[in-house]
Amino acid sequence: MIGSPDQLAVSRLTLTNFRNYAQGRLEVDGRPVVLTGANGVGKTNLLEALSFLVPGRGLRRAKLSEIGRRSASTDAFGAEWAVAAKLRVGENDMEIGTGIEVSETPNGRDKRVIKIDGTVMKSQAELGRYTSAQWLAPQMDRLFLEGASGRRRFVDQLIYGLDPEHAGPVAAYDHSVRSRNKLLRDGKLDPEWLNSIEESIARHGVAIAVRRLEAVGRLQEVCRTTTGAFPGAVISMAGQIEDWLADEAALAVEDRLRAALAASRPRDAESGSTSIGPHRSDFAVRHGETNMEAEICSTGEQKALLIGIVLATARLQTEERGHTPLLLLDEIAAHLDEDRRASLFELILDMGAQAWITGTEDEIFAPLGETVQHFAVKDGEIAQI
């Protein structure tokens, strides 16, 4: 990278019928944004809205139909919602809008609509070419203790910031696996139909595994070193497809996966699931200093490892793509001791990223003074402090 990196920053955020916001508008500059208020007033909803500016299902992975504002009288979700933002990358401004397109048929699927500078985009992957964000939320505190699916989503979200094209194979792969599972559950074992779907699974699945291995390999070089008060981490991808790729070329692994899928049809038909593929892989993390697996580290060290990995990803992305990502950090400061909290704030400011940080206590952020913008949130209303 030549010269100083650009900053990706939101300058205006507008919400329509989004969660508890009938209408919401927030104008900010490039400094970090602090949002404080009691639990349940809408702080996390603002971060979730920002998370829809990048590929994926957002910070909460909610269904599109469950994001619209609830009716006070019926407790039903509103159908239509929208998020619009004005962003600046370096000296360039852009407008992004996203929301729901409700299906006109009872059994049809709602779709997410995305516009960039007024032009409708064909896929979410287009967002990744212009924007990026990394986030941490309280529900991720148990990432190392629960199933591998959460860790796969975590590493894919990291990769979206490093490799915007990763979103395409992930979406295509998930769709193909769901289609295969439905055919098997319904007993529709037509060989030609299954061959076509399994060819797609093999092609996109190996592409996903290759991208994960490459990105995690690059990230490992940055993660390995302790940064501030956050320990380094030893990270890797583990799984059957990854093992095959260690010994064979990608095209050979595609053939091997396709044959394995065909052979597993009887077993998979009984379970109604696909038993092999990168959706069975895991993201393995060890403490860089103690070499201890993350799942047996203390709660505090697990949190510190997560923060260290996210900050390392942000630094690598800044180096590779030439701009800082948005950092969405939900209730993060309250769960850190004073030294780590101070270190986190210092690292964010040094990085020059626009971080959006929520918390319930104003005092925690008092030492930051005017280096941040501070807003109070109460029942869907936002006021600058």
pLDDT tens-place string over residues 266-302 = 999 999 999 999 999 999 999 999 999 999 999 999 9
Same structural domain, 6 and 120: yes
Boundary residue ending a domain (267, 296, 322) = 322
For residues 32 and 137, what is the distance between their CA atoms, to the nearest angstrom? 17
Please indicate, yes or no, whether residues 317 and 295 belong to a single structural domain of this protein.
Answer: yes
Q: Are residues 170 and 315 in the same domain?
A: yes
- Min mean pLDDT across 34-48, 117-131, 311-325 is at 117-131
| pLDDT, tens digit (0-9, with 9 covering 90-100), for 295-331 | 999 999 999 999 999 999 999 999 999 999 999 999 9
Q: What's this model's pTM, rounded to 2 decimal places?
A: 0.93
Q: What is the mean pLDDT of the chain?
A: 93
pLDDT at 74 over 60: no
The pLDDT value given to residue 7:
94
Segment 141-148 mean pLDDT: 95
184-230: per-residue pLDDT in tens?
A: 999 988 999 999 999 999 999 999 999 999 999 999 999 999 999 99
Residue 147's pLDDT is what? Answer: 94
Q: Is residue 267 located within the same domain as residue 368?
A: no
Total domains present in the chain? 2
The answer, yes or no, to whether residue 150 has pLDDT greater than 80, is: yes
- Sequence-ordered alpha helix ranges (H) in 23-120: 43-51
> Do residue 283 and residue 219 come from a single domain?
yes
Whether residue 278 contacts residue 205, with contact meaning beta carbons closer than 8 Å, is answered with: yes
Q: What is the DSSP letter of 10?
A: E
- Say if residue 76's pLDDT is above 60: no
* CB count in 10 Å sphere of residue 251: 10
pLDDT band at 245 (very low <50, low <70, confident <90, very high): very high
Question: For residue 277, what are the domain limits?
Answer: 133-322
- Residue 77: band (very low, low, confident or very high) from pLDDT cuts 50, 70, 90: low
Which residue matches tokens 């299954």? 194
Q: Which two tokens stand for residue 165?
A: 């094209």
The answer on pLDDT for 2 being more than 50 is no
Residues 238 and 316 occupy one common structural domain:
yes
Asked whether residue 317 falls in the same domain as residue 331, the answer is no
343-372 burial: b if 16+ Cβ within 10 Å, else e: bbbebbeebbbbbbbbbeeeebbeebeeeb
Segment (H or E) for 299: helix 299-321
Domain boundary among 322, 349, 374: 322
We report the CATH number of the domain holding residue 62 as 3.40.50.300
Distance in angstroms (rounded) separating the CA atoms of residues 66 and 70: 9
- Are 33 and 78 members of one domain? yes
Residues 168 and 254 in one domain: yes
C-alpha distances (whole Å) from 361 to each of 191, 321, 357, 365, 375 are: 60, 35, 12, 8, 12
Same-domain status, 159 and 277:
yes
Answer yes or no: do 117 and 172 share one domain. Answer: no
Last residue of a domain, one of 297, 322, 347: 322
337 in the same domain as 302 = no
Q: What is the CATH number of the domain that holds 290?
A: 1.20.1050.90
Pairing of strands 6-18, 21-27: antiparallel
